[in-house]
Structure formats: C-alpha cells, structure tokens
Chain A
Amino acid sequence: MDKKTVSTIAYLSRLSLDEENGEKITKDLENIIKFVNQLEDANTQNIEPLASPLEKTAKTREDKVTAQNRKDIFLERSPKSNDDYFLVPRVVE
C-alpha cells in the first residue's frame, strides 16, 4: 500500500484526503490489509463463496405496479431541485 494506490482508491471512492490525513490513512490501510492477509492461511480450495447467510434466491412477485408517484416528496428533500428534476452543476458545456 503506497500513496499512489491510496490516491487511486480514494478517487474511485470519490473521496479526497488532505496531506496529513492521507499519511495517517495510508498507514492505517496498510496495517488493516496486513491484518486481513491472515486469510491467506485458510485452505479454501473448492469452497463456494458465501455471499449471504440465507443463500435464497430473491422471490418474484406478480408484475403489478405498486409504486406511487411521490415525486414532490422526494424532490423536496433534495439539496437542489426544480419542479421536475434534481439539479447539479452543468455537465455538458
């Protein structure tokens, strides 16, 4: 784990780290990754990964519209919106 890797994953995570914070976090991540490297010791040959304890397939339901249009309620909670849309800085010049 070096500074470059950390800045790449920070960008992938859409986070910025200031200089001081960046060094501390790099060190922390290094230690955490060292810690989880213990997993290498486990023999997992032919073991299926377990993604969820239930291992059940999501159920299907009748194809009926149940959602209501609650546009106003949701737009109202947005940091910035007009009558129809969430607003963000201009993307295409």
Chain B
Amino acid sequence: MSIQYKTINELSQMLKSRDISNKELIQETFNLIDANLHLNAFITLNKDASLLKAEELDKNLSLQPLSGIPIAQKDLFCTKDLRTTCGSNMLSNFIPPYSATVIENLENAGCVSVGKTNMDEFAMGSSNETSFYGNVQNPWGDKLVPGGSSGGSAAAVAAGIVPAASGTDTGGSIRQPASLCGISGLKPTYGRISRWGMIAFASSLDQAGPMARTAEDCALLLNQMCSHDLKDTTSLDETIPDFTENLDKPIKGLKIGLVKEFDLSQLDKEVVKVFEESKKQYETLGAEFIEISLPNISLSVPTYYVVAPAECSSNLSRFDGVKFGKRCDDPKDLEELYIKTRSEGFGDEVKRRILIGSYVLSAGFYDAYYKKAQQVRRLIKNDFDDAFKKVDVIMSPTTRGAAFEEGSKGDDPIQMYLEDLFTIPANLAGLPALSIPNGMVDGKPIGLQLIGNFLEENKLLRAAHNFQLSTDWHKKTPKGDIQS
C-alpha cells in the first residue's frame, strides 16, 4: 500500500488499523527519499535512529497523538546528536548537544524525525539557491525553484515523501515555498512556538511553524509544536487552544479584508484570475469582503531590509570559529582566525546581509536607518490593529507568481527581496498567517495568503479548512490528482 501523498490522519488510521507497521511506514518513507534524491530536499538523513524508534513503537503501543508519523525537520533546528548545518558551510560539522524545544515537542508527540531538510543559508533567501548544499528542485518541474528559505521542507511534502515538515518564517520562509510547491503552511503568532534551539536569523521576526498537505494537518502539528517555554523569554504564556476544534464549522459571516494598497494590476493576469476565483469561492461559503487600508504597507519590504539584516549581523557574530562550527586553517593570530573563518564559512547573501546590518547599526546611521525602520514598523503594526477592528482575516495572494526558474532573478538582490512583498508585513506585526494552494498558473501551483489577528490561528485554520473542504487544489500533486 502506497504511503505517498497521504495526510497525517490517513497515515494514523493506517497505523491504527495495522494496514502498515510503524517500521514499514518509516522504511517506505526512506524508499521515497531514495527515489527522490534528485530533489536534493535533504541535507542529512536520520535513518538508523528513525527505524529504531519505529521498532519501539511497534513493540509498545503508543497513544501519542502523532505516533509514528514521519516528519522532515528544517535544518535550522538543533537536533541532539544529529548534524545541523543551517544550510551553511560554517556549520557543516556541527552536531548539537541538545534539541530545539519544538523538535522535542514533536518527537514527544510521537513524530519520527526522518531527516534534516535543505534550506537557504541561515534562512536568507527566497529560492533555496543560497544553500551551501546546492539548490532544491521543485517537484513540479525541472529547474524550478521550490521557494525559500524552507525549500527542502516544502519540496519533501509536495513530493509526497512525508506528510509533514517543520519550517521557519522570518519574512515568508514558510508561506512562500508552500505557495510555490502547492502545499499548506502556517506561520503562527510571534511567540506561539519556542525559539529555543532554532538558529537565530532575526530574533524579533523568526517564528517556526508547520508545513503539510492540508490546513487540518497544520492544525494537528501546531497543537504539538506550541508550548510555553521558560528557555525563550519571548515565548508566550497564553492558553494554547485545540487548533483542530471547530475546523468544520461553517464560516458564514466571516469578514475578509482586502488590502486597498496591494496593487494586483501589476501581477500576471493568470495570478489575478486565480485570486478572483478564490474570492468567489469564499463568497459561496458565506464570507463577506470589506476593503481595508494599510497606508504604510508599501514600506514593509524596506523596513524588513533594515530590521532583519541588523538583527542578523548581531546574531551571526557568534560564528567566530572558537566554540563550535568551522575554523579556518592555520590562522596567524586571533583576528585572522575570526576574519578568515567567517569569510570562508559564509556565502555571499549572508555576507551581504551582515554588511547591511553592520552599516545600519553603525554610529551616525543608527537613527536614520535602524531607529527609523523600527518607527515605521510600529506604523505598520498600528495599521493592522485598525484593520482588525473591521475584519476577521486579511486575504491576498501569497506570492507575485508561481515557481520561477533557477537563476532567473539574475544577480540583483532586490528582485529577490520583492518576492516576499505580501508575506513580510505579518512578520513585522507578529501576526499569524498561512498559505494554502488555490489554483494553477502554467501548470504550476500558487497559494492564497490569509493573515489573522494576534493569537487567532483558529480563525485562519477554519477559513482555510473550509476552503479545502470545498475545493481540490490541495489534492493536486506533480503526478496528478489524489482521488478521495
């Protein structure tokens, strides 16, 4: 019995009814990994430990909610005794002595971490082309990028290798690859999921989240990923609801905001058509549309490209070749040790961002750039606060288009930065947002973004699940539609 493209619930049922054993499921997952090596979705595999855990689960019946479910973990999360590279040469030899809280949470819920997925170096990129370990192929076509930075996670789910993957989202790194690979992905409210053990890029923006075939599966994963963690001072001490509750409840009367300032006329006609069709679908489901204004939204990308590099230049100063990771050969003194190690260990995009960060934080420029960007960040957050007085969720395309070809954005970094135009605002404001597949453009999937108010993941997931109950876009795979 094939396990490819199965959802979490389907695999759980197969395990419960003993159609498949835990060991068979994991063995079959590794067969799928082997059959898809050309995707380059994984950096490190965890085969022996995974098979061992599966055997244990076969011996001792477990009632854990995600018992036996194979999951791919983004290589940005520390995994105890399993190499964690963050897509960088700098950490090519790094074996963490502990696991990230979110990894522990998922594993304690029964998940089997089958491997670590490829990603843009230190999560800096929107196409997976900055990974030291090579590009990831989008399963939807040759030479197509999977998006980034969680490109390997998105590709592994889209290819039906695993039903679930972890991702992280600093400016769109879960939602953009989810859109480009035709899967569902959620960035929760900032603070919902502990950042302990996540290798930091921009600490005030970074948030982990689930990537899966459906919104329902994202809810199942989110239930296990969230926790209040004393080891992360920004971890929220808020009630964690059951995110699967009331998913089926109709959304009649849901108020959906459309952002006046998002100029869709600049997008490809096909992309706009897909978006308009989704609006009709939501109307059929009883939702109503309200135009809202986010007057400062056009400043989101420039704000992000001050705040994120500033935090990155500070966070990445820990990679100095002294305590862990790579060290250059034969440094003549301590300074050369630092400079040579960092120059050899980091790729160009990471260097670029460190340099921008150092520049905007340096004396004389701090007020003009960093402080200014933080002020604009508050204006953007205030705009959202006002909008959510009128609407329940805000809807937009996730991306400006479908998956593009490797190398097609040229070497102008700003073109790549604009890829995250629609996704960055939610990170700046700390709001939850998700992407679900909502159509095809030139035979390639594309996603719909819903942004919710602070802590209102439930509303987002319910709106997404209702859409998926009434459409089949999430059942499309590179090899045809899933029959149900």
Task: Give the interface of A toward B (CB within 8 A).
Answer: 5-6, 9-10, 12-17, 21, 24-25, 28-29, 31-33, 35-42, 44, 47-54, 56, 58-59, 61, 70, 73-74, 77-80, 86, 88-91
The residue of chain A having its C-beta at the shortest distance from the C-beta of B377 within the complex is A50
Which residues of B are found within 8 Å of A89, using beta-carbon distances?
A: 331-334, 336-337
CB-based contact A48/B373 at 8 Å: no
In the complex, which of the residues B190, B320, B332, B339 has the most CB atoms of chain A within 10 Å of its own CB atom?
B339
CB-based contact B381/A39 at 8 Å: no
Which residues of A are found within 8 Å of B351, using beta-carbon distances?
A: 13, 15, 17, 25
B467, CB-defined interface residue at 8 Å: no
The residue of chain B having its C-beta at the shortest distance from the C-beta of A70 within the complex is B97
Given A44-B375, A50-B374 in contact, is the A35-B327 Cβ separation under 8 Å?
no
B191, CB-defined interface residue at 8 Å: yes
Taken together as a complex, chains A and B put the C-alpha atoms of A29 and B373 apart, in Å, by 17
B376, CB-defined interface residue at 8 Å: yes
The secondary-structure label for the interface of chain B is: helix
B323, CB-defined interface residue at 8 Å: yes
CB-based contact B376/A28 at 8 Å: no
Binary flags per residue of B332-352, CB closer than 8 Å to A gives 1, else 0: 111111111011001010011
CB-based contact A42/B379 at 8 Å: yes
Taken together as a complex, chains A and B put the C-alpha atoms of A27 and B354 apart, in Å, by 15
CB-based contact A13/B324 at 8 Å: no
**Beyond A25-B355, A35-B302, A90-B333, 9 additional pairs, beta carbon < 8 A:** A13-B342, A14-B320, A15-B342, A15-B346, A39-B372, A42-B375, A44-B372, A47-B378, A53-B204
B429, CB-defined interface residue at 8 Å: yes
CB-based contact A88/B359 at 8 Å: no
Which residues of A are found within 8 Å of B354, using beta-carbon distances?
A: 13, 15
- A21 CB, min distance to chain B CBs, angstroms: 7
CB-based contact A79/B358 at 8 Å: no
In the complex, which of the residues B237, B302, B357, B411 has the most CB atoms of chain A within 10 Å of its own CB atom?
B302
Task: Give the interface of B toward A (CB within 8 A).
Answer: 94-95, 97, 190-191, 203-204, 230, 233-234, 236-237, 296, 299, 301-303, 305-306, 313, 317, 320-327, 331-340, 342-343, 346, 348, 351-352, 354-360, 362, 369, 371-379, 381, 411-414, 417, 428-431
Taken together as a complex, chains A and B put the C-alpha atoms of A47 and B303 apart, in Å, by 15
Taken together as a complex, chains A and B put the C-alpha atoms of A42 and B362 apart, in Å, by 22
Which residues of B are found within 8 Å of A78, using beta-carbon distances?
A: 322-324
CB-based contact B337/A28 at 8 Å: no
In the A-B complex, the 5 residue pairs with the smallest Cβ-Cβ separation, listed nearest first, are: A53-B430, A49-B374, A79-B327, A44-B375, A50-B378
A42 in complex: contacting residue of B299, B334, B428, CB < 8 Å: B299
- B421 CB, min distance to chain A CBs, angstroms: 13
Taken together as a complex, chains A and B put the C-alpha atoms of A15 and B320 apart, in Å, by 11
The residue of chain A having its C-beta at the shortest distance from the C-beta of B346 within the complex is A15
Taken together as a complex, chains A and B put the C-alpha atoms of A28 and B410 apart, in Å, by 12
Which residues of B are found within 8 Å of A50, using beta-carbon distances?
A: 374-375, 377-378, 381
CB-based contact A39/B355 at 8 Å: no
The residue of chain B having its C-beta at the shortest distance from the C-beta of A32 within the complex is B356
Given A54-B190, A77-B95, A89-B333 in contact, is the A39-B374 Cβ separation under 8 Å?
no
- B295 CB, min distance to chain A CBs, angstroms: 10
The residue of chain B having its C-beta at the shortest distance from the C-beta of A14 within the complex is B338
Taken together as a complex, chains A and B put the C-alpha atoms of A48 and B376 apart, in Å, by 9
Taken together as a complex, chains A and B put the C-alpha atoms of A47 and B351 apart, in Å, by 32
CB-based contact A39/B430 at 8 Å: no
Given A15-B339, A16-B339, A35-B414 in contact, is the A77-B379 Cβ separation under 8 Å?
no
- B28 CB, min distance to chain A CBs, angstroms: 34
